[in-house]
Amino acid sequence: AIHVVNPNTFVVVMALYSDAKKSLVVEDTLDEIAAINTLVEAGVAQEPNTAFVDFALAPGQDMFQITPAGHPNCRGDRLMATQVINKLFERRVLGRALSLPTGKNATECLNAASCRDIDDKVCCQAAASCRVDPAGACVDYSAGVGAL
């Protein structure tokens, strides 16, 4: 329907995010969520000017709001936004993007437990619970107001 009004509009379809139990990812349903996302991604691939954006939320870390329940908190939102920026860069909608780790290193960075132990800015900006401060140091990124 969007492309009927304007065929030049670029549409981004976000992946279904994981289930939540309080502020944490429910790991038991990750395979089911991945299967659903694979089907959606295949359908989106057939559409013009449309991209599917997949992302992961870090298990074992506060990734969801408590109220309203089941919605990503600021950490989860930042991870989703980062992947949107990168997808728009890949599809040449944006001219610049963030540097992010790849492969096994991407998972290790996402799940990093201690920001102080990260000395790589690329890894820090990909970590769910970290951010790069103005001085360039990797520091904790809060789960937000009302977090557990």
pLDDT digits (tens, 9 = 90+) for 91-116: 999 999 989 899 889 999 999 989 99
Per DSSP, the three-state class of 24 is: strand
- Which residues, in sequence order, are bridge partners of residue 52? 13
Residue 62, burial from CB neighbour count under 10 angstroms (0-12, 13-18, 19+):
buried
Residue 105 tokens, joined: 């290193």
Bond preceding residue 68 cis, omega within 30 of 0: yes
- For residue 147, the model assigns a pLDDT of 54
Please report which helix (H) or strand (E) contains residue 2, including its range: helix 2-5
- pLDDT by 10s per residue, the chain, length 148: 799 999 999 999 999 999 999 999 999 999 999 999 999 999 999 999 999 999 999 999 999 998 888 999 999 999 999 999 999 999 999 999 989 899 889 999 999 989 999 999 999 999 999 999 999 999 999 887 655 5
What's the predicted TM-score (pTM) here?
0.86
